[in-house]
Structure 1
């Protein structure tokens, strides 16, 4: 296939509108601040101070079953849980891989929307990859989720609940390897997190605030991915939460990136990389560059050299960035396929020779529907 793309697609808007008239997800304590939780209970004629107890059960004990909340009055448990912990999603299918250490879950939300999360246990950590939207409006042609379009944004609580369930599975020993602790969260599932900015930021706050306000994870162990919504990258840099930014670049030149990452027709490679560097300069957090390697599309050696030039140019140097080349998770019927092993090795070699920290991603779930969106599409 030629490196030259077809005609450039129509530029995408920064935030895609959801269909009108759509019902909102149930209000959940993870959507609310500590004070808002108290106020909600008072409005319902329930004791406001009970909100802290319910939140402690949810974020610290990782339970939402009223029968397990024995410190609450038996006569109020059901009402308190109904008010603050409504059902948000139902697991309708699971796939496991890597001897049970990778668990991919398909969730049905309250309105029938489908999203996916993946829990991955490693020797030194446990990471959950979560969705931020049902579907995605970014329309990247190699991505299974992008082919289905955007159904709707997820709420803060729907995003957070994926993590709480994953933390519970680890604590209960439901993942191969026995009981453990969930340590890392990556916003790399379905959707573009920064196109659902308010809910994504709310979820980041809930994940990093100490209990009972939130789950108490380290911000440094939370990664927010984006295809390059430049204004939102800059906005995130000013929030004062030092999460890791992961930029899904996938091409170092505008001609190719316009074709495979359509948002590039609005924000060029240069603008996008500049914004990512500004994020590093403001937060001190090294930026990850995600680069899905596609056979004869973006994996040429000269493109690795160009990527090194783009990242280190304008006096930036190489210390601000880490590149993660990723063997493509193939989508059946797609023209995009995984790079040859030799080409992947050469791509990494060239970046490393230029002094850029580079790690070929260890893909998980190779024997299941690995690409995000495949499980939802099959359902």
Structure 2
């Protein structure tokens, strides 16, 4: 579940949200900004731990509750099978090409998510990397139980006439928590979902601040002397910018949320997965891959959202964009790179250059 998904859930669940949601956004922004600016990525890691445990407990509990409301696991599956067996197929009712595209986005796109990559980069011991895949896989599997349980139970209850058919299936979770659970349970579930927002937000704030204070100014030839101070200032600026976007450009926020996973995966997977080990990779290819990935995802999403372009049912943008951007990266690297200027891997790990560094301006 992405931050955009959870935000949509929160807004849909808040009556009178035109006024109330603005106050909630301000409160949430101040809280997240406070602990992120004070603790940086370390604060994000510790809050991720607490919020992750909360989401795991919520997912397991609501999975059991949802299945029991549908009459139990066997009864629920029997109801769906008798109505439409394809609902229980491994690929569901979607074409195989759609499923393959989705799998590509999830499997390879995960390597292009900055909020996940940074957590691996701050490990003190490289030996801990061996546990990364297992921990991530188990955590994702457990937290997915919420969507799995609510989705299947709502479909079975809709077929059996115990729940109304919703015009927008994305509202199933909201409807289930609002009408089929005790208010206390719904409140706890909402708390866990808000934890998912805060978990992603704190990481993105820190990443955005470091991009401003290290990547951007470094590209301009400027060295930051007081990195901690300027990092905190940049974190505040990122939060303020995000707050203004959320309050006045909500449509853009949802569009960016819709392309988030796919766009990051398409922009980062090729340069990162190949660029670290392939000596033919070039900076030019990296720049154009990022431009093409972000631009194409945003353009197609906007056009389809406005109804100007209708994507076929077998087409899944996320998987296609990752494959296309990777091919762009490889193609441009071959066109612009030569063996003589291929990057040395050891330079990426901090070995000094032979040439003396030129003096750089300082902040």
TM over 0.5: no
When Rg is computed on C-alpha atoms for both structures, the one with the higher figure is 2
TM norm structure 2 = 0.22
Bigger proportion of residues as helix: 2
Which structure is richer in relative contact order (CA contacts within 8 A, separation 6 or more)? Answer: 2
TM norm structure 1 = 0.21
